[in-house]
C-alpha cells in the first residue's frame, strides 16, 4: 500500500472502526465505517484521495495521537 499520506490502516470488524496511521505519525480512528468502505479504500490506487472523498467529513473520528 504505497501512499504519500497513509502509512497504514487497520479495520476492526467488531466495532466497525477504521484506524488510519498517517505518514506524519498521526493516528485517527474513524467510527462506524462499513466494511465495504474499508475494502474499497484498501483497493484504491490513491489511499489519500479515497480518504478525503469518502471518509473525512462522513464518519465521526477520534484523534489517538
pLDDT tens per residue, range 17-55: 999 999 999 999 999 999 999 999 999 999 999 999 999
Least Cα distance to 27 among 59, 1, 63 occurs for: 63
Any domain includes 12: yes
What is the DSSP-derived secondary structure letter of residue 15?
A: T
21 near 5, Cβ under 8 Å? no
pTM for this prediction: 0.91
Any domain includes 46: yes
Any domain includes 1: no
Residue 3 has pLDDT above 90, yes or no: no
Number of domains present in the structure of the chain: 1
Enclosing domain of residue 25 = 6-63
Sequence-distant (6+) residues with CB within 8 A of 26 are 63, 65
Please state, in angstroms and as integers, the Cα–Cα distance from residue 59 to each residue in 2, 11, 34, 43, 53, following that order: 24, 14, 10, 19, 11
Helix (H) or strand (E) holding 29: strand 27-30
Amino acid at each position: 500500500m504505497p501512499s504519500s499520506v497513509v502509512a497504514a490502516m487497520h479495520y476492526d470488524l467488531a466495532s466497525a472502526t477504521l484506524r488510519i496511521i498517517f505518514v506524519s505519525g498521526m493516528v485517527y480512528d474513524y467510527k462506524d465505517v462499513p466494511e465495504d468502505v474499508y475494502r474499497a479504500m484498501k483497493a484504491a490506487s490513491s489511499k489519500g484521495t479515497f480518504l478525503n472523498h469518502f471518509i473525512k467529513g462522513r464518519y465521526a473520528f477520534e484523534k489517538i495521537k
